[in-house]
Amino acid sequence: MAVATSKSSIDDLRGQYEAALAAKEIVQQVSMECQEACQKRIGYVVTRCLQAVFGDQALSFLLVFEQKRGQTEVRGVLVDAEGHELDPLQSCGGGILDVAAFGLRLACLMLQRPQPARVLILDEPFRFVSSHYRSNVRALLSELSQEMGVQIIMVTHIEEFMDFENRLEIA
């Protein structure tokens, strides 16, 4: 009787193990689909910001998901026109990080659920952007504000942005 009970218990455990493996595969598939969706939505917004401001450099932004220590980790990567990864802390100047950070903030705002008020309050967000690109930043802010229905409140000492609110129609 004890042997039959043990075999039954082993069969039950085997069934539970197989069900757990199937559930793990489903969770991994859903996780990969979520990662791809995040990459598309966040990557699109940040890349659009970078290319609108620095079009001549043809930068794009990717989220790279990696399995480490039994968990998925993500890192943001800037990629140049030739497909080379750039180390943003070592090789990016002219305000590229400022524009990428703005794009990330905007993407995060757009992804929040439930949808909060679409307001970005920024303190000197483009202080390191080269004066050569400031008109591109102004155009980008105007386009995104109207397109995405985002109100942008910005503290700045950059003269080109000081009268920005007079030229922007906020949705």
Query: Which tokens go with 73?
Result: 């980790």
**CATH numbers and ranges of domains, the chain:** 2-167 (3.40.50.300)
- pLDDT digit string, tens, across residues 97-123: 999 999 999 998 888 888 888 888 989
Q: Is the pLDDT of residue 143 over 80?
A: yes
- Span 119-147, mean pLDDT? 90
- pLDDT digit string, tens, across residues 79-94: 988 888 887 777 667 7
Q: Is the pLDDT of residue 170 over 80?
A: no
- Span 16-31, mean pLDDT? 87
- The residue type of 80 is D
DSSP secondary structure string, 20-43? HHHHHHHHHHHHHHHHHHHHHHHH
Measured CA distances, 66 to 76, 96, 98, 101 (Å) = 11, 24, 25, 21
Within its chain, how far is the Cα of 33 from the centroid?
A: 15
